[in-house]
Chain A
């Protein structure tokens, strides 16, 4: 049996199909002991199937799941030392909150006084003590969510799987719960594997993020890595909000490119003459000339639309028929209205250069 030393959870080459649809294909990644790991992917990319496979709820055609030094691929669901928070919360509707919380402990054979003590503790931790005697359907969404968390952590699992736990909550609660998950992770120190389609959740909570696409992991890194050095155009557009601007261009000479809306040529190391490239520029990296840091490239653009978000405003502009988004501070943006021309610019060092055909990053680092 292969021995796992480095990581608590090692996922190797998982493969799963539903009829002819491939759900997982060569899914491979490791989660370190005590880590908060996020799986970021669009819907039906395979996030839920991955979590269910790790929990043992899904049969695999191929691949191995190692956990805590053991191959658990064919182990029964019961007794893996994992628990899961489901997208629908999956509270037991016929049992009171207290019974819901007690269930994992009762099944583990914990004696009654200890069960009562630990249910009390976890209810206290999650501030649901007042709901203990009630049935789940009488609770608010946030309370149901916290009970679901409580039921998942009450038996102190070594690994907590979270399947889009915030999808069914409203925006305000989502914000609160993000902080709550981070707090729990810090206080309980358990390994957490969190699946989400929301880049904001992945970036704010994950210590490392795995981007998945069509059933496999295409990139793993810290949120900063993925944001600043996306390895290809897919990762670049998955991470960051508003999404990154892409421009098609062709290299004029080796290491130099032309952008349709710019007079000057820009340096792009590693690019060969005549090579088609895709350039990525984050909306946050564009600013007004004279407002931001040193500008190496300035150009004129026409405002099409403004989207005030409170502290900042997202502005859609056209620069010589090239559409792009930029983000300005609210007090700066307030001076402009759609139809105005503005002089904007960016630092060429902020440009991300990708291969025009396969989308792979060209400027390493």
Chain B
């Protein structure tokens, strides 16, 4: 070939500079929030904004303990519970959704029904309308059935909302697999169950990880349904965060930034742990095997 190709994995200076600039633009708000979390109230509101200041951990302390203005006593907030709720609800619901979605996707991919595409399209339509459209009927259903305010209620709802996405994404991974591998396993004496668990699932683990992370991010940040359908005990962090706004002394930006910073950590870790899988998941089928 006449044209010389750059060594794989090495970008030129131009590209490196460009990606650095774009990366900086994306990361700057996050960086600023994290910075604010370490600022005192005065520093946080200073004009012009301060880049250099004496960091403080007070904001993180007040996420979990509140000092009463009148008595001076330290009192635990419920923020620990809300963090637990967020983690518990999001992980369980998305986990369920990926499991159900995977089973459904396998069926749609390997045992197509008459009108298979129609069913898939109907499943997809549930993601087409804005969730707010269905909020009133769902609210009424939850009130009548007693699911409002319970863990089960919000988890079922999040599971249901994640299933269409899971089915579609996981089905595309199954469709990419070579069906002759499954036939070979059958001829070797594997049962249908073993073909699924021993041969199909291991081949799409990266895809499942990607599906899980995408669903998790979506669910983690969900606010509207959490606001209306969780109770005092099942409140999630986004809702709790909103409740710190306002109040008698205005917005405490330092406190808000500290909650946001803590709120970023779990997702950051999951994404970080699964980053290799994620890359393989999102590029699945686009790279020649």
| Chains A and B form a bound pair | yes
A residues with a Cβ closer than 8 A to B are: 52, 55, 57, 77-80, 82-84, 86-88, 90-94, 103-104, 107-108, 137, 151, 155
Which residues of B lie under 8 Å from residue A87 when comparing CB positions?
A: 180
Within 8 A of A (CB), among B196-218: 199, 202-203
Residue from A80, A90, A94, A103 within 8 A of B183 (CB atoms): A90
CB of B186 within 8 A of CB of A92, answer no
Residue from A78, A84, A86, A155 within 8 A of B190 (CB atoms): A78
CB of A94 within 8 A of CB of B203, answer yes
Q: How far apart sit A86 and B184, CA to CA, in the bound complex (Å)?
A: 8
Q: Whose C-beta in chain A lies nearest to the C-beta of B191?
A: A78
CB of A57 within 8 A of CB of B188, answer no
Q: How far apart sit A357 and B190, CA to CA, in the bound complex (Å)?
A: 52
Which residues of B lie under 8 Å from residue A77 when comparing CB positions?
A: 183, 186-187
Which residues of B lie under 8 Å from residue A92 when comparing CB positions?
A: 181, 184-185, 199
A-B contact pairs, 11 of them (CB 8 A): A77-B183, A77-B187, A82-B187, A84-B183, A86-B180, A88-B178, A91-B181, A93-B181, A103-B185, A137-B289, A155-B188
Q: How far apart sit A266 and B190, CA to CA, in the bound complex (Å)?
A: 63
Q: How far apart sit A90 and B188, CA to CA, in the bound complex (Å)?
A: 12
Chain B proximity of A214: nearest CB distance (Å): 24
Main secondary structure of the interface of B (DSSP, over half): helix
Which residues of A lie under 8 Å from residue B191 when comparing CB positions?
A: 78
Q: How far apart sit A87 and B180, CA to CA, in the bound complex (Å)?
A: 9
Chain B proximity of A295: nearest CB distance (Å): 52
Against A, the Cβ 8 Å flags (1 = close, 0 = not) of B168-180 are 0000000000101
Instruction: Count how many chain B residues have C-beta atoms less than 8 Å from C-beta atoms of the other chain.
Output: 16
Q: How far apart sit A217 and B178, CA to CA, in the bound complex (Å)?
A: 29
Residue from B178, B188, B199, B203 within 8 A of A83 (CB atoms): B188
Decide yes or no: A104 and B188 within 8 Å by CB, A57-B183, A88-B178, A137-B289 being known contacts.
Answer: yes
B246 at interface (Cβ–Cβ under 8 A)? no
Chain A proximity of B183: nearest CB distance (Å): 5
Q: Whose C-beta in chain A lies nearest to the C-beta of B204?
A: A94
Which residues of A lie under 8 Å from residue B178 when comparing CB positions?
A: 88, 90
Chain B proximity of A86: nearest CB distance (Å): 4
Q: How far apart sit A79 and B180, CA to CA, in the bound complex (Å)?
A: 18
Q: Which of B180, B183, B188 has the most CB of A within 10 A?
A: B188
Decide yes or no: A107 and B190 within 8 Å by CB, A94-B202, A137-B289 being known contacts.
Answer: yes
Q: How far apart sit A104 and B190, CA to CA, in the bound complex (Å)?
A: 8
CB of B189 within 8 A of CB of A107, answer yes
Residue from B187, B199, B202 within 8 A of A55 (CB atoms): B187
Which residues of A lie under 8 Å from residue B181 when comparing CB positions?
A: 90-93
Chain A proximity of B148: nearest CB distance (Å): 44
Chain A proximity of B282: nearest CB distance (Å): 19
- What are the 3 A-B residue pairs with the smallest beta carbon separation, nearest first? A107-B189, A90-B180, A104-B188
Chain A proximity of B153: nearest CB distance (Å): 38
Q: Whose C-beta in chain A lies nearest to the C-beta of B199?
A: A92
Q: Whose C-beta in chain B lies nearest to the C-beta of A95?
A: B202
Chain A proximity of B115: nearest CB distance (Å): 15
Residue from B186, B202, B203 within 8 A of A57 (CB atoms): B186
CB of A83 within 8 A of CB of B185, answer no
Q: Whose C-beta in chain B lies nearest to the C-beta of A52?
A: B183
Q: How far apart sit A84 and B289, CA to CA, in the bound complex (Å)?
A: 22
CB of A93 within 8 A of CB of B180, answer no
Q: Whose C-beta in chain A lies nearest to the C-beta of B189?
A: A107
Which residues of B lie under 8 Å from residue A83 when comparing CB positions?
A: 187-188
CB of A104 within 8 A of CB of B203, answer no
Q: How far apart sit A91 and B188, CA to CA, in the bound complex (Å)?
A: 12
Which residues of B lie under 8 Å from residue A90 when comparing CB positions?
A: 178, 180-181, 183-184
Q: How far apart sit A137 and B184, CA to CA, in the bound complex (Å)?
A: 17
Residue from A55, A93, A94, A108 within 8 A of B189 (CB atoms): A108
Which residues of B lie under 8 Å from residue A107 when comparing CB positions?
A: 188-190
Chain B proximity of A167: nearest CB distance (Å): 13
Q: How far apart sit A57 and B188, CA to CA, in the bound complex (Å)?
A: 12
Residue from B187, B188, B203 within 8 A of A93 (CB atoms): B203
Q: How far apart sit A275 and B167, CA to CA, in the bound complex (Å)?
A: 66
Which residues of B lie under 8 Å from residue A137 when comparing CB positions?
A: 289
Chain A proximity of B114: nearest CB distance (Å): 12
Q: Whose C-beta in chain B lies nearest to the C-beta of A102?
A: B188
Q: Which of B189, B191, B289 has the most CB of A within 10 A?
A: B189
Q: Whose C-beta in chain B lies nearest to the C-beta of A87?
A: B180
CB of A88 within 8 A of CB of B180, answer yes
Q: How far apart sit A6 and B48, CA to CA, in the bound complex (Å)?
A: 97
Q: How far apart sit A80 and B186, CA to CA, in the bound complex (Å)?
A: 11
Q: How far apart sit A230 and B69, CA to CA, in the bound complex (Å)?
A: 104
Q: How far apart sit A155 and B289, CA to CA, in the bound complex (Å)?
A: 29
Q: Whose C-beta in chain B lies nearest to the C-beta of A89?
A: B180
Q: How far apart sit A78 and B189, CA to CA, in the bound complex (Å)?
A: 5
Chain B proximity of A228: nearest CB distance (Å): 37
Chain A proximity of B112: nearest CB distance (Å): 13
CB of A86 within 8 A of CB of B189, answer no
Which residues of B lie under 8 Å from residue A91 when comparing CB positions?
A: 181
Which residues of B lie under 8 Å from residue A57 when comparing CB positions?
A: 183, 186-187
Against A, the Cβ 8 Å flags (1 = close, 0 = not) of B231-248 are 000000000000000000
Which residues of B lie under 8 Å from residue A79 when comparing CB positions?
A: 189
Which residues of A lie under 8 Å from residue B185 when comparing CB positions?
A: 92, 103
Chain A proximity of B202: nearest CB distance (Å): 4
Q: How far apart sit A294 and B100, CA to CA, in the bound complex (Å)?
A: 78
Q: How far apart sit A108 and B190, CA to CA, in the bound complex (Å)?
A: 9
Which residues of A lie under 8 Å from residue B183 when comparing CB positions?
A: 52, 55, 57, 77, 84, 86, 90
Chain A proximity of B34: nearest CB distance (Å): 39
